[in-house]
A = this chain, B = another copy of it.
Amino acid sequence: MDRGAVVRITDVAALAGVSPSTVSKALNDTGSLRESTRARVREAAERLGFVPDASARSLSARRSFTVGLLSTDSAGRFSLPVVLGAENALVGGELSALLATARHDPVREQHHVRALVARRVDGIIVTGRTTEPREPIKVPMPVVYAFAPSSDADDASVVPDDALGMRLLVEHLVGLGRRRIAYVGGRAEQAASLVRYETLAAELAARDLAAVGEPLYGDWSEQWGRRAVDQILAGGPGSGRADGALPVDAIVFASDQLARGGCDRLRERGLRVPDDVAVTGYDDWDVMSLASRPPLTTVDMQLERLGQRAAELLIAAIEGDPARGVERLAPRLVVRASTLGDG
């Protein structure tokens, strides 16, 4: 399209009958100019569709008004909302977002970091796929880590408060009178699986309760959720129908996917959720938590807000007020029919 049509400041100046510097002052509300002059310049700029060249502006401002969004993975289910939340918050600050996905490849990541440095981004937000701490990146501008914290405690990180999330679930379940609670995690070596169990155990202990049986670990699939239910029920007397002596009255799953599988299997075995067994998930991933039968009580980590918060911290750092350490963002308990019946 009209390639040559790029309007420069001199074009506006010519049309308005002033000098380029006057145009700059008029459009940026600086310097001292008669209001009539400003208006005339504005009108000329408007008429020509003048949009100042960001490269030139960056060059003299020594700022790019751009931040990098560096995602360790390919912006999957967890890092994507974070990225979107951040992008959203950045727009408000007149900043643009450069997307860089490393796809778990250190070489790619290095390449991206270099590119971001070359672009003199004002700052970088680093996100990951898991909550595992990660090696910090070395760059000459502020960095905020989101979801996956930096392993260097001096860096600024924002992570979901998993412990609080689990506490909310326990409060909810115990408040409903559930006492025999079992736990089903995902992959055993991942922090999300482990931390959630530890908090669960601690919270139960604080109420003179204990989890039923050992925590069960597998993977993050619905299939494992189903199998885990089988294992739990096999552990109690009368594996099938309730004779009033089910081994559990609630199962806490470490993800919505697991919970959904669990609900399916409970139903298939003739048990009612939540009447016989209450079920909770984690993540509030709508296609799982809402499509589950019944819909899941779960914890929303508020990942978009997490990204937004990371952006706020980054903007503050850019403006000379850097944060340090890990900030934990409170999640939100979402109560649905898997614990409350039709309530």
Residues of B contacting A54 in the complex (Cβ-Cβ under 8 angstroms):
55, 64, 118-120
Contact status A99-B101, CB under 8 Å? no
| CB contact between A1 and one of B88, B101, B141 (< 8 Å): that residue | B141
User: For the complex formed by this chain, how many copies does it contain in all?
Assistant: 2
Query: Within the assembled complex, what's the spacing in Å between the Cα atoms of A119 and B97?
Result: 12
With A1-B141, A58-B55, A99-B97 already in contact, the answer to whether A257 and B114 are too (CB < 8 A) is no
Question: Counting chain B CB atoms within 10 Å of each CB, which of A58, A69, A119, A138 scores highest?
Answer: A119
Contact status A56-B53, CB under 8 Å? no
Query: Within the assembled complex, what's the spacing in Å between the Cα atoms of A327 and B221?
Result: 37
Q: Indicate whether A209 reaches chain B with its CB closer than 8 angstroms.
A: no
With A56-B59, A96-B98, A99-B69 already in contact, the answer to whether A114 and B51 are too (CB < 8 A) is yes
Residues of B contacting A91 in the complex (Cβ-Cβ under 8 angstroms):
108, 111-112
Q: Indicate whether A115 reaches chain B with its CB closer than 8 angstroms.
A: yes
With A101-B88, A139-B1 already in contact, the answer to whether A64 and B55 are too (CB < 8 A) is yes
In the assembled complex, 24 residue pairs joining A and B whose CB atoms fall closer than 8 Å, in A order, are A1-B142, A6-B140, A53-B59, A53-B120, A54-B118, A55-B56, A55-B59, A55-B64, A55-B119, A56-B59, A59-B59, A66-B98, A87-B99, A87-B100, A87-B101, A88-B101, A96-B98, A96-B100, A96-B119, A97-B100, A98-B98, A223-B291, A257-B287, A287-B287
18 extra A-B contacts, CB within 8 A, seeds A59-B59, A74-B84, A221-B291: A1-B139, A1-B140, A3-B141, A6-B120, A51-B117, A53-B59, A53-B118, A54-B118, A55-B55, A55-B59, A55-B64, A55-B120, A74-B88, A75-B84, A83-B99, A84-B101, A87-B99, A261-B291
